[in-house]
C-alpha cells in the first residue's frame, strides 16, 4: 500500500495520566480504532465478517508501540495506517502517530484470519484472495 490510510484522534482528558501525558496503554486503543477505520474503508471488519458462508474474524496476536514524544489532552493526532506485511494467514499493520508534522510514536499490530465456528471455536485459515486484494489496494 503506497499511500497510507489516515485518520485523526483528539486526545481525551481520560486518556492522560497524572503527568498530563497520554498513558502508554491508550496508544494501543488508538491503533485499534485506526485499524477498524482502515478496514471499514475497505468494506471489511476485524470481527464477525460474513464471508462465503463462513464467519471470519481477525484476532490480534501481537502488538507493540515505540514512544518518541508525549501527547497531551486536546491535541489532535494524525494516525497513518499501512500494511507492513501480509502472510498466508496473517496481516501486520504499521502505525505512525503525528502531532502536526512531528512523529511522536510508531506501532504495529499483527492479526490472524480465523474462521469462527457456531460454537465460537476459532481456527486460523488462509486470507481469502478477495480480502487480500482489498487489503493490498488503496
pLDDT mean values, one per 10 residues, the chain (138 residues): 86 95 97 96 84 89 97 97 96 97 97 90 94 86
CATH class assigned to 5-136:
alpha beta
Closest to 9 in 3D by CA, of 37, 39, 43: 37
Report the predicted TM-score, pTM, of the whole model to 2 decimal places.
0.92
**pLDDT at 8 (0 to 100):** 97
- Domain residue limits, the chain: 5-136
CA distance 76 to 100: 8
CA distance 114 to 46: 10
**pLDDT at 136 (0 to 100):** 87
Pairing mode, strands 54-57 and 114-116:
antiparallel
Residue 68: how many CB atoms within 10 A of its CB? 11
Amino acid at each position: 500500500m503506497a499511500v497510507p490510510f489516515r485518520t485523526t484522534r483528539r486526545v481525551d482528558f481520560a486518556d492522560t495520566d497524572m503527568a498530563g501525558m497520554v498513558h502508554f496503554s491508550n496508544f494501543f486503543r488508538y491503533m485499534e480504532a485506526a485499524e477498524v477505520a482502515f478496514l471499514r474503508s475497505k468494506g471489511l471488519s476485524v470481527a464477525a465478517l460474513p464471508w462465503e458462508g463462513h464467519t471470519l474474524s481477525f484476532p490480534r496476536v501481537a502488538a507493540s508501540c515505540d514512544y518518541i514524544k508525549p501527547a497531551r489532552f486536546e491535541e489532535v493526532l494524525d494516525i497513518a495506517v499501512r500494511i507492513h506485511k501480509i502472510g498466508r494467514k496473517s496481516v501486520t499493520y504499521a502505525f505512525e502517530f503525528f502531532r502536526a508534522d512531528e512523529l511522536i510514536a510508531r506501532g504495529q499490530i499483527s492479526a490472524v484470519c480465523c474462521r469462527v465456528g457456531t460454537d465460537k471455536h476459532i481456527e486460523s485459515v488462509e486470507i481469502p484472495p478477495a480480502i487480500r486484494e482489498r487489503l493490498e489496494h488503496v
